[in-house]
Amino acid sequence: WVRSEEQRVGEEQRVGEEQRVGEEQRVGEEQSVGEEQRVGEEQRVGEEQRVGEE
């Protein structure tokens, strides 16, 4: 009985770690998306300045 309980605890820990890894990946993807949006906005601002100078 004791050994089976330890196995179950070990499996639960592994599942918890996998969830955390999955959440970290999602956070990382959201950050890169946010950076891409910011880069896109900066490019647009640069193009507007060029148009204004012309």
Reported as a single tens digit per residue, the pLDDT across 14-45 is 878 887 878 887 777 777 777 777 778 888 77
C-alpha to C-alpha distances, 34 to 1, 7, 31, 39, nearest whole angstrom = 50, 41, 5, 9
Distance between terminal CA atoms of the chain? Answer: 80
Confidence grade of residue 1 (pLDDT, cut at 50, 70, 90):
low
How many residues make up the chain in this entry?
54
What is the three-class DSSP state of 21? Answer: helix
Q: Is the pLDDT of residue 11 over 80?
A: yes
Q: What angle do CA 28, 45, 35 make, to 5 degrees?
A: 5
Residue 54 and residue 17: Cα distance in Å, rounded?
Answer: 56
